[in-house]
Structure 1
Amino acid sequence: MVMKLSMSAISVLLLLLAQAIETQAAIFDVTKYGANPGRDISQALLSAWKEACAATSAGKVLIPKGTFPLNEVKIEGPCKAPVEIQLDGTLNAPAQLGIIKGDSWLTIEHIDHLTISGSGTFDGQGAAAWAQNDCGKNPNCKAIPMNLRFNFITNSIVRNVTSKDSKNFHVNVLGCKNFTFQHFTISAPGTSINTDGIHIGDSIGINILDTSIQTGDDCVSIGDGSQQVTVERVTCGPGHGISIGSLGKYPNEDPVVGINVKNCTLSNTMNGVRVKTWPSSPAPGIASDMHFEDITMNNVGNPIIIDQEYCPYNQCQLKVPSKVKISNVSFKNIRGSSSTQLAVKLVCSKSTPCANVEISNIDLTYTGKEGPATSLCTNIQPKLSGTHNPPICANSAQAS
């Protein structure tokens, strides 16, 4: 009994000690470095960050409630200890194009054990930029900055904050490892151009959890070199859906492997869950082990798509098939309503047909005047199980 009490006492002491250490983390409040609401706080933020990053124990950079203009800023590591940025106020980007010279408003890079938290907002003030964005049609367009760029971040988390009205992508994740977004909010009108929610490339172990994304492009887009990505309990819409790709446009693209999209809800999006690759690929590519499960579609266009003839604005040669090999894919327990009659589109490459694709328990309804929902299959022979509405690859000639 004495031993049990002693162990209990030790446990309580250790807990209190841990809490004490956490509460004693140094706080670097940007207002102590000259930040004032209504005035550019770029220098104050960088000064607070410099001291927090140099500290040998955990520290917190605090941006308190209030509205603060912020110009283009790069926050860099490595740091000597874990650092948290607590955003409780609103940071406003310059509204006019041309003030930010780079491709991102706030760049954060080369940091291990970073936390971004709080109840605040990164406001990109992007409305003026959307009206001037012609990058979809003009390959020589001027660079338009995104809200947040994360380069080479490891063992880190972003939680509870909001990214609003980015001029371009809201978040770009590059070269990161073990990085989580949880209870994160992304907000922009459905008419905002190229405002992808979270774009991931060349990264391993990225988790997007319990997150709400409303935007004018893909809610989540997963580019080449992405491995072990989990998208779970995400609500998407408006937007263009959750996409792997586009892949195969450039030479030397790294494989995409281990993507899991689960327990998500898409509402009023242009597309649902999709894998898209360019035809006329300059080099072979790989996209494998991709799984979409327990997805609810509410009035979603093209709810299930594999499209290996992705060619927006006629920028490619459709006659030359994609060289990206798609394999080990599953679509399971996907239900709801489609806003297009073609609810399931599986168009694979003639030169490298899709392999080992499993489709199970699909129930997608369409109520338009054209008739019930349909499917289209090309260069694919999926493994079917459970029930299917619409019938999948009902015409065997289509699945040749």
Structure 2
Amino acid sequence: MRLLDILGTLASVPGLFTLASAAKHFQIPPRPDVVPSPYNAGQSMPISLPRDPDRYCQVKPVLPPQRDDAPSILQALQECNDGGTVVLDASYLIGSPLDLTFLKHVDIVITGNIAFDDADVYYWDSHSFKYTFQNQSVFWKVGGEDVNIYGDLGLGEGRSVVDGRGQAYWEEMMVNENLFRPMLFAFDGVKGATMSNLRMRNPPNWFNIIANSSDVIISNMDLRAESLKGTKIANSDGWDTYRSDRVVIQDSFIRNTDDCVSFKPNSTNIVVQNLECIGSHGISIGSIGQYKGETDIVENLHIYNISMTNASDFARIKVWPGIETDFQPHLGGGGGSGHVRNVTFDLLHSVNNDRAITITQCYGQKNETLCNEFPANLTITDVTMKNIFGTTSSKLDPLAGTLVCSAPDRCSNIKVENITISVPSGEAPVYECRNMDNGILQLTCIPDA
């Protein structure tokens, strides 16, 4: 058969075009060499195997009036799994959930743009993948072994984009605050994965969760949650780690309205470095201790070289009290146990944040008397916060932070060193310190109330 006949036959497959040596026929950026720097997660990441140069699957978007490219993407990943490369270089609309937890030795190249169907924001309530933790759900999830997802930020704003179309959800939240909203992306059950050089836009809920996974590197990402009509943006965490080990998140930009990065229960051996965060709730450990009868472990974290601007908090640890309480729709808790241990925050540049440092064991509860009566069951030990400089906002001036444990035996060996924060009034900044060893805090602590 002539080559042109072969090409015509392959191109006729609905939603999928497979071509040997396809890199010669359409532009594919090389896989980035993603290396943790300057810190790693304690050991070398697994080596990603070379891909077969003759196995490429290019996904063709379906034509109107169809609105769902999910089946074509699934077909391509089944076809090119175990050694191939899947290319998404056009505009795609995903209208149904994608369970991609079967992947092995595959690269996914996104040089086009992917959006999730927002025609019916209630559809995803019953058609997304659920997590019991904080009633979260997600549009699609990726898992398996040796998976690389990448794009090319040099292609321009409309390319290498994953868009959650959150605007429709934020507007619906104005009339129904109980609306369940999916996260934009999940690595779930992956061992050995990278994600790099992509733009993520407007998630209905969090941008990313890294769950039940190990040996993951995230690098050179551009995340932005921006309302078009002044509508309040709901949540929009940049990355949340959950039940995961050996993760590096680095060299990225995040503009959002909630945690820039958050370490949820059982996050261990994690590095976050070289980030610029704007408008967030900080680099947050927690919330943890939320579920009675469960043990949350968060340990061996290194947070380095972070710029945080116009946020509520910066270096932050948030723990639920020792009694179950209600907090907000779909969210309540307290009474869980566990520990936070061996954490370093280093080289933090604060620009107009309400607090430079926040430690609380009364998260989710406004009644401090209740928190004192029922101290957190979870302990915080061996934490160092150092080389923190810049400014705080006028909101709490001259207060620049709070370090409050719910009982004297709940926190130990928490050090603050070389902190040079200024407040707008020009006064000496002060910090609320309670049930702490003030002798190893290089701060001016106000007396306990």
Same fold (TM over 0.5): yes
Q: Within 2, Cα distance between the matches of 1:381 and 1:132?
A: 47
- Is residue 53 of structure 2 the alignment partner of residue 29 of structure 1? no
- Is residue 264 of structure 2 the alignment partner of residue 223 of structure 1? yes
The residue type equivalent to 2:109 in the other structure is Q
What is the deviation of 1:271?
A: 1.1
Q: How does 1:277-296 map to 2 (within 5 A)?
A: 277-280=319-322, 281-296=334-349
Percent identity of equivalent pairs:
24
Equivalent of residue 400 in structure 2, options 340, 343, 348: 343
Q: What whole-Å deviation, never above 9, does each CA across 1:308-328 have from its counterpart, x for those lacking one?
A: 111257699433211110000
What is the deviation of 1:133?
A: 3.3
The residue type equivalent to 1:265 in the other structure is S
Q: Residue 96 of structure 2 aligns with which residue?
A: 72
Ranked by relative contact order (alpha carbons within 8 Å, sequence separation 6 or more), the top structure is: 2
Q: Residue 233 of structure 1 aligns with which residue?
A: 274
Q: Within 2, Cα distance between the matches of 1:164 and 1:221?
A: 18
Q: How does 1:149-168 map to 2 (within 5 A)?
A: 149-168=186-205
CA contact 1:72–1:104 (8 Å) conserved in 2: no
Which consecutive residues of structure 2, in runs of 5 or more, have no partner in the other structure?
A: 1-49, 129-136, 153-159, 323-333
Q: 1:325 to 1:332 in 2, by over 3 A?
A: same
Q: Within 1, Cα distance between the matches of 2:180 and 2:351?
A: 34
Q: What whole-Å deviation, never above 9, does each CA across 1:57-110 have from its counterpart, x for those lacking one?
A: x2111001x32211233243434x51011011111111231222222112212x
Q: Within 1, Cα distance between the matches of 2:341 and 2:110?
A: 38
What is the deviation of 1:239?
A: 1.3
CA contact 2:337–2:378 (8 Å) conserved in 1: yes
Q: Within 1, Cα distance between the matches of 2:301 and 2:63?
A: 43
Q: Within 2, Cα distance between the matches of 1:27 and 1:172?
A: 28
Q: Residue 123 of structure 1 aligns with which residue?
A: 163
Which consecutive residues of structure 1, in runs of 5 or more, have no partner in the other structure?
A: 1-20
The residue type equivalent to 2:150 in the other structure is S
Q: Secondary structure at the match of 2:296?
A: coil
Q: Secondary structure at the match of 2:218?
A: strand
Q: Secondary structure at the match of 1:146?
A: coil
Q: Residue 107 of structure 1 aligns with which residue?
A: 141
Q: What RMSD in Å do the two structures reach over aligned CA positions?
A: 2.5
- Is residue 238 of structure 2 the alignment partner of residue 197 of structure 1? yes
Name the stretch that deviates more: 21-30 or 208-217.
21-30
Q: Residue 320 of structure 1 aligns with which residue?
A: 374
TM-score by length of 2: 0.75
Q: 1:322 to 1:25 in 2, by over 3 A?
A: farther
Equivalent of residue 351 in structure 2, options 298, 304, 316: 298
TM-score by length of 1: 0.84
Q: 1:167 to 1:272 in 2, by over 3 A?
A: same
The residue type equivalent to 1:114 in the other structure is V
What is the deviation of 1:211?
A: 1.1
Q: Residue 289 of structure 2 aligns with which residue?
A: 248
The number of residue pairs the alignment matches comes to 361
Q: Residue 437 of structure 2 aligns with which residue?
A: 381
Q: Residue 16 of structure 1 aligns with which residue?
A: none
Q: What whole-Å deviation, never above 9, does each CA across 1:94-132 have from its counterpart, x for those lacking one?
A: 1231222222112212x1100000131110000121133
Q: Within 2, Cα distance between the matches of 1:214 and 1:108?
A: 24
- Is residue 213 of structure 2 the alignment partner of residue 180 of structure 1? no
What is the deviation of 1:42?
A: 1.2
Q: Residue 363 of structure 1 aligns with which residue?
A: 420
